[in-house]
Amino acid sequence: MKKTFILISACLLTASCAKFTDLKPKGMNMLSSDEDLELLLNTEFRDFYNADMYQIPGDLLIGNVGNIANLISQPTPSRNSILVTWDESNVKLLAELTPNDDDYRMLYGFIGQIANPILASVGFATGTDAKRNQIQAEALCLRAWAEFLLVNKFAAAYNPATAGATPGVPYLMEDWDISIPPEKWTVQQVYDQILADCEAAIALNALPEKNVNQMRWSKACPFAIKALALMGMQRFDEAEAAAKASIDANAAVTDYWSPAMTKVLTAFIPPYGTSEIVFRTPLGCDEDIFHTYTQLVFNLLRTPECDAQLEEGHSALVRMPLDIMMFNNITYTGMGMSMCGLPYPVVGGMGTGSGASWNTYGLKTTQQYLIVAECEIRKGNIDDAMDYLDAIREKRIDPEIYAPLKGSVTDKADAVACLKQTALGENVYSVYNFIERKRWNQLNDMKETITRTFSVTTENGPADYEFTLTPDSKLWIFPFPMNARDTNPNLTPNSYDE
């Protein structure tokens, strides 16, 4: 059977998966029962450290990006300098400076090594109908989620007028002949198939109300992915309905100010002061409907532009672990100076490496609340929209200063500003800030030009350097990695014409 033994199906996409070609078939099919297939789903979705989508929106810098002054003044552009300075003139060079890409490798790996082997084999696997339907639905969710992230990183945002002709990414189906390099689908085809996978998962009606664990899939998940995709397609009424269906299945919003979510850190030097931080226990937040395990360990710097936009008292601003907490919160040049030459707070120290996890790529209930809020704003229902935002904010803002938005916001422009501020607080330490802003760039009432300023000293002396990223910049589209392009001639870059 062509459908059997597809454990190596991602190999032709990227050379970094070459080790999987060492597997030798031991028979017609190694995945013969529902229990065998379910073993594939028991994967740890972790180590999502690719910096690309964190950096572009301008709210974070990556600790290993290098000295900013040197990046600005160096005569020959590097990959880091192109991303940091938003140098659109070197979009083509960016592709040549991208030898590999962890997002590409991991996400297509999940499809080729987990989702598609299940979907190809489940029809003739032994076991119960209930279990086969469940693992089939989980595999469909996994594929749809991975393809959603891939198309958002490597292709242009969905524009209803042009999506049918806009090049996207390969959508790997379970019957793909692995001897043939896959071709790119259009952006519209990718989104249509994401919806088809979600609908198929929903129709099976086999997902549990509560995940086996938060790295498995539940009833809320296909509705959540469907809602995200429909928002990208600007089908807002359908997106809101899907988001509400996801919320119906799981409405939890974790209280970041509760004792259960709080950890007290003690400084390393006298007088050994203490700081309270948010501590997200892995697989322990009810709002995580699909969890990707990521530790933030001294690898992110929060920018002044981000701090200026976050709401006063927001946990993302005042309860994130920072390097200065090690030194009793006194003013000092800090790790930011040694990393990048900038006095920015470094996020992720003081014990986060001992187990805290930020759901940087996964699905959360709060994404669905934000979707409903945006859709209600579009319908002019400002109070209803603010009610959904408040459901998030009251669990994120310092209780001593929290005040509801509902009843105090009446203007649409103000409502949009509140939506964006709340979304930033939710998404800043994840890839969804990139995804949402990229989507908003297609909407006249949402798009905006982003600016950032670096105050540094170069060989020409101290100066402020301002950089601008426009909504139509090609930097919102990342290039396919070279190792994948070398093995698949169909993967021409989407960010420029060859």
In a domain, 291, yes or no: no
Residues 26 and 158 occupy one common structural domain: yes
Residues 64 and 131 occupy one common structural domain: no
Question: Residue 234's Cα: distance from chain center in Å?
Answer: 19
Q: Say what the pLDDT of residue 178 is.
A: 84
- What is the dihedral sign for C-alpha 355, 359, 363, 366? positive
In a domain, 295, yes or no: no
Residues 117 and 142 occupy one common structural domain: yes
Residues 165 and 57 occupy one common structural domain: no
In a domain, 312, yes or no: no
Q: Say what the pLDDT of residue 356 is.
A: 79
Residues 116 and 159 occupy one common structural domain: yes
In a domain, 333, yes or no: no
Q: Say what the pLDDT of residue 71 is.
A: 94
Residues 80 and 201 occupy one common structural domain: no
Which residue numbers in the chain have pLDDT < 50? Answer: 1-28, 352-353
In a domain, 269, yes or no: no
Asked if 113 and 20 count as a contact pair (C-beta separation under 8 A), the reply is yes
Q: Say what the pLDDT of residue 294 is.
A: 84
Residues 107 and 118 occupy one common structural domain: yes
- Residue where a domain terminates, one of 167, 190, 218: 218
> How far is the C-alpha of 437 from the C-alpha of 118, rounded, in Å?
34
In a domain, 462, yes or no: yes
Residues 63 and 174 occupy one common structural domain: no
Q: Say what the pLDDT of residue 338 is.
A: 86
Could you list the residue range(s) of the whole structural domain that residue 122 is in? 11-41+101-218
Look up the pTM and report it: 0.93
- Residue where a domain terminates, one of 175, 200, 218: 218
Residues 200 and 112 occupy one common structural domain: yes
**Per residue in 437-488, pLDDT tens?**
999 999 999 999 999 999 998 777 899 999 999 999 999 999 999 999 999 9
In a domain, 227, yes or no: no
Nearest residue to 314 (alpha-carbon basis) of 233, 403, 437: 403
Contacts of 188 (CB under 8 A, 6+ apart): 158, 163, 164, 166, 168
**Per residue in 303-360, pLDDT tens?**
999 999 999 999 999 998 888 888 776 665 678 888 899 989 888 755 544 567 889 9
- Residue where a domain terminates, one of 176, 195, 218: 218
In a domain, 170, yes or no: yes
> How far is the C-alpha of 405 from the C-alpha of 390, rounded, in Å?
6
Residues 83 and 210 occupy one common structural domain: no
* Total domains in the fold of the chain: 2
Which phi-psi region, left, alpha or beta, contains residue 289 (left: φ > 0; alpha: ψ -120 to 50)? alpha
Residues 196 and 137 occupy one common structural domain: yes
Would strands 300-302 and 60-62 be described as parallel, antiparallel, or unpaired?
antiparallel
Residues 128 and 31 occupy one common structural domain: yes
> How far is the C-alpha of 119 from the C-alpha of 146, rounded, in Å?
15
Nearest residue to 390 (alpha-carbon basis) of 378, 377, 374, 406: 406
